[in-house]
Amino acid sequence: MNIRPIRNEDDYNFAIGRIETLWGSKKDTPEGDELDLLATLVEAYEMKHFPIAPPDPIEAIKFRMEQMGMTKTDMAKYLGSQSRVTEILNGNRKLTLKMVKSLYKGLNISPEILLAG
């Protein structure tokens, strides 16, 4: 096992290729350990060089509504009146902390996402 830090794209590509070769290795074997270490290094490199921005709060709400088959009328119990729901979903009004708590408790949407906007 020859593990080294991933410092550039060539190192990254080498690690990805090695992971593909090792994929499916049994746990607690030298190959499995190497796979685990390389996956950790690749994850750290990707987080630093290819960060994923958090989703837009309004898009997250709309996505959850779609997932759950909810309408604007259904959302009124979390955001206030139906007109308030429309204002929020159109981006004309910001979410309040009370709304964020309600969306988290009722729809399990992360406060970190809701407060990002």
In angstroms, the CA 58 to CA 99 distance is 12
Do the Cβ atoms of 37 and 47 come closer than 8 Å?
no
Could you say which of 2.60.40.10, 3.40.50.880, 1.10.260.40, 1.10.645.10 is the CATH number of the domain covering 57-114? Answer: 1.10.260.40
- 3 falls in which pLDDT band (50, 70, 90)? confident
pLDDT of residue 117: 64
pLDDT of residue 2 exceeding 90, the answer is no
Give me the pLDDT at residue 1, please: 74
Q: CB neighbours of 73 closer than 8 A, spacing ≥ 6?
A: 82, 85
Cα 83 to Cα 87: distance, rounded to the nearest angstrom: 6
Specify the amino acid at residue 37.
L
First-to-final CA distance of the chain: 45
31 vs 53: CA distance, rounded Å: 33
Which of 56-60, 66-70, 72-76, 113-117 is predicted with the least confidence, judged by mean pLDDT? Answer: 113-117
Residue 68 CA to residue 29 CA, distance in Å, equals: 43
Is pLDDT larger for residue 88 or for residue 53?
A: 88
Band (54; pLDDT cuts 50, 70, 90): confident
Q: What is the mean pLDDT of residues 79-101?
A: 95
> Does residue 85 register a pLDDT over 90?
yes
How does residue 116 score in pLDDT terms, banded at 50, 70 and 90? confident
Least confident of 23-27, 74-78, 113-117: 113-117
Domain boundaries, the chain: 9-49, 57-114
